[in-house]
Amino acid sequence: MNILMALSQLEVTGAEVYATTVGNELTRRGHNVFYVSDTLTKPTQGPVFKLRFNKRSILRRFWHVFYLIYLIKRHHIQLVHAHSRASGWSSYVACKLTGTPMITTVHGRQPVHASRKAFHALGYRAVAVCEDIAHQIINNLGVDPAKVQVLRNGIETDKFQPVAAPENPKPVIAIIGRLSGPKGELCYRLLDEVLDLEACQVLVVSGTQVPERFARFKEKAEFVGYVDDVPTLLAGCDLVIGAGRVAMEALLCGRPAFAIGEAKAIGLVDESNLDEALASNFGDIGPQDLAIDFAALKPQVVSALASKGVSEQLRQRIQQEYGLQEVVTGLESIYQDAVVETLRREMPVIMYHRFIEHESEKGVHGTWLPVAMFEKHLKLMKWLGYETLTFRDLADKGFIHRLQYGKKYLMITVDDGYRDNLTRMLPLLEKYGYKAVVYIVTGEDHNRWDVAHPTHPDKPVSLMNADEIRMLGASEHIEIGGHTLTHPRLSKLAPEQQAHEIRANKQRLEQLLGHSLVSFAYPYGDLNDDAKAQASSAGYRYAVATNSGPRAMHQDPLQIRRIAIFPRTDVFGLWRKIRGNYVFRK
């Protein structure tokens, strides 16, 4: 995808570290990530454009919107990810005017005033980095809870490894954060009222230019400025004071962290208060911000200095909550939600069964299509510029690959495993360069489920035998999937019967093909929670239904919605079904 990160800042902030860290990981995953901001200090793997969001006059705001529209059009931006109020407002207007999906990550407490309540400007989804931020924007700003999702900061946890406690002549305490705004006030009061600057070596680490009022501390504390190598800095500290990412990174390094932020002072982070720390972004925000009792902090800091390390259990919890890979995967899911729901378009997954050449081959149940019409379908797909994906493609590249800019993808699926799939369908797929996923029943030699229908019995039609399945599966145009042994309605079976139908079919196909299967089709599209659990337990990553499941396919990989192709689906009918908005219009 082409993604634009929009930030407003004049100095290094947690939002910048977040945006560039996840942005660089998105780039490594194959996305094109662009940045627009007042300033940007952290290195990025994508282009950076300067826009002075901090200049907020009416004329400037018009310019912000105009320039964002230019960037969206010029770089074919598919989604804007905003990270601040100033950039968010302008991005919201630009996205509305261009029809571009947008989300916002909310990093801190939002101001509460009438215009903010009336005009949230958050886009499709507000991603809060902690629970207390989510509660604040819901309760104080009136944001719809359905639009809010908690997804924590993404940290390259492998860069922050535990280290032994340093042997410093006297304790080293690092205060890390901005020296402006509320964070600056915190630092000032810590230096003035809490820390013993004679007994300890205090390092003040900040990218902010040191304000004049801090001059009185320069003889007793070391203002080291911005630091690139944070792990090395943390390794030399006996105690780290800060909020947000500061506390997380210190804990990952095994260094004690004293969490204090704009909302409250949590104190030394341990197992007893970790949930509170996670919910408040380590003190940065609370449901109701409290006045911090700085006098009470002094003995707490002295006690915290006696702590020489962090338990492995605590470190593991931080890794689980903040691991970059999991956070970025969560973001990719939100991006897909935003794109599919905002544009109301999804990659079509179409479903065929068998292909006939003569009128005499028609059946009762409408699961056939003249092979001549199938070729017309393929010609239309080619003329419209479609390419085909299979589930193995998605397994290799991820669901989000289907949203790649400049591509028109669809998926062809074919149920049951009729012999004509090999003799009639495959040559046409080869002719037009398309791929299909064929779901095969292995416990029958014909369509017994239709022939034995109690009220509308059909004529028998041959399924592929073992050799024919091998021949079909050997083609680069075909992916084989499971479809049970006997084509039952799975919801009518007990779980152990479901397991037998699914597992025995999968084992037989894998034995024939010599490789594992990744996808499964529920016969008749009929399923329940037990059937989904059995498909997953059998080792399937994906499973397709018919007209059930979420409209966005990534939201439930074990119940992917498909669009049925019927005997009367002519070229115009197919065009309606593969435009991308069919499941939204039904």
pLDDT, mean of residues 485-495: 98
Mean pLDDT of the chain: 94
Within this chain, do residues 480 and 517 fall inside the same structural domain, yes or no? yes
Domain boundary among 101, 116, 150: 150
| Residues 123 and 202 placed together within one structural domain of the fold | no
If asked whether residues 420 and 541 sit together in one domain, one would say: yes
- State yes or no: pLDDT of 289 exceeds 70: no
- Give the pair of three-digit tokens for residue 18: 């977040």
User: CA triplet 218, 221, 223: central angle to 5 degrees?
Assistant: 75
Summarised one tens digit per residue, pLDDT across range 235-285 is 999 999 999 888 999 999 999 999 998 888 999 999 999 999 999 999 888
What is the mean predicted confidence (pLDDT) over 8-28? 90
CA angle 582, 585, 586 (to 5 degrees): 85
Query: What's the rounded mean pLDDT across residues 527-546?
Result: 98
- 331 falls within a domain: no
Higher pLDDT, 226 or 508: 508
Asked whether residue 12 carries a pLDDT value surpassing 80, the answer given is no
Q: Is residue 319 part of a domain?
A: no
* CATH number of the CATH domain containing 42: 3.40.50.2000
Could you give the number of structural domains in the chain? 3
Give the distance from CA 88 to its chain's centroid.
20
- The domain that contains 513 carries what CATH number? 3.20.20.370
Rounded-to-integer distance, Cα 271 and Cα 274, Å: 5
Domain contains 328: no
Any domain includes 114: yes
Q: Is residue 129 part of a domain?
A: yes
Residue span of the structural domain in which 278 resides: 157-311
Q: How confident is the model at residue 108 (pLDDT cuts 50, 70, 90)?
A: confident
Q: Give the C-alpha separation, 115 to 216, whole Å.
A: 41
Q: What is the mean pLDDT of residues 99-113?
A: 89
Residue with tokens 């509308």: 456
Quote the pTM value: 0.90
The residue with tokens 């070391």 is: 222
Q: CA–CA separation, 446 vs 465, rounded Å?
A: 10
How far is Cα 302 from Cα 300, in angstroms, rounded to an integer?
Answer: 5
Going by pLDDT thresholds of 50, 70 and 90, the confidence category of residue 217 is very high
Indicate if 204 and 137 belong to the same structural domain: no
- Tell me, yes or no, whether 338 lies in a domain: no
Residue written as tokens 């993604």?
3
Position 299 in a domain: yes
Strands 257-260 and 265-268: antiparallel
pLDDT tens digits along 394-450: 999 999 999 999 999 999 999 999 999 999 999 999 999 999 999 999 999 999 999
Per-residue model confidence as pLDDT tens digits over 336-345: 999 999 999 9
Determine the pLDDT at residue 334: 97
| The pLDDT of residue 290 is above 70 | no
- Give the pLDDT band of residue 288 (cuts 50, 70, 90): low
Question: Mean pLDDT, to the nearest integer, of 348-371?
Answer: 96
Domain identity same for 91 and 233? no
Q: Which residues pair with 521 in a beta bridge?
A: 544
Task: Mark which of 115, 150, 185 sits at the end of a domain.
Answer: 150
Cβ burial of 496 (10 Å; 0-12, 13-18, 19+) is exposed
Tens of pLDDT along 421-435?
999 999 999 999 999
Confidence category of residue 466, pLDDT binned at 50, 70, 90: very high
In a domain, 67, yes or no: yes
Pair 24, 117 in one domain: yes
Q: What average pLDDT does this structure show over 205-210?
A: 88
Same domain (yes/no): 139, 173? no
